Structure 1
Amino acid sequence: MPTERACLASAHNGNLAAARRCGFQTAFIPRLPEFGPNQQTDLMAEQDWVTGSLVELACMLGA
């Protein structure tokens, strides 16, 4: 399967950026507060599809 037909879903912008560099589509699914109430990173997507859950992402992709 070509990488542009695959999608990495993650709550970590660094992982998503690496996947984009490899040609994958990406989806940001926030997990707040993954790192506790003082979380400073991965609060919002940098440049991905944004969804609240894997089920919502599947609906967005027509699955």
Structure 2
Amino acid sequence: MEQRIALVTGAGKGIGRAVAIRLAKNGFSVAVNFRSSEKAALEVCDIIAAGGGNAFPIKGDVS
């Protein structure tokens, strides 16, 4: 089986958060990118894990 991985920038809040959760529901492993709020990124990872998905936080400024 092919593994699908998505890097979602700004995934700790707003549209990025919604996109990360939706991708996980569709079978992607999600790299939850954050610049300053590790807490928010970890919350998204927890939501994804609770739904049976796989996610991991990645700190970085992509601007």
Q: If the length of structure 1 is used for normalisation, what is the TM-score?
A: 0.52
Unaligned regions of 5+ residues in structure 2, if any? Answer: 11-15, 46-54
Same amino acid, percent of matched pairs: 15
- Give the drift of 1:44: 1.7
- Give the drift of 1:31: 4.2
- The structure in which a higher percent of residues are strand is 2
Structure 1 stretches of at least 4 aligned residues deviating more than 2 Å after TM superposition: none
Unaligned regions of 5+ residues in structure 1, if any? Answer: 33-42, 54-63
Distance in structure 2 (CA, Å) of the matches to 1:31 and 1:52:
6
Distance in structure 1 (CA, Å) of the matches to 2:26 and 2:35:
24
1:7 is matched by which residue type in structure 2? I
Counterpart of 2:7?
Answer: 9
1:29 is matched by which residue type in structure 2? N
Q: Number of residues paired by the alignment?
A: 42
Counterpart of 1:58?
Answer: none
Counterpart of 1:25?
Answer: 29
Q: Pairwise CA RMSD of aligned residues?
A: 2.4
Distance in structure 1 (CA, Å) of the matches to 2:33 and 2:18:
13
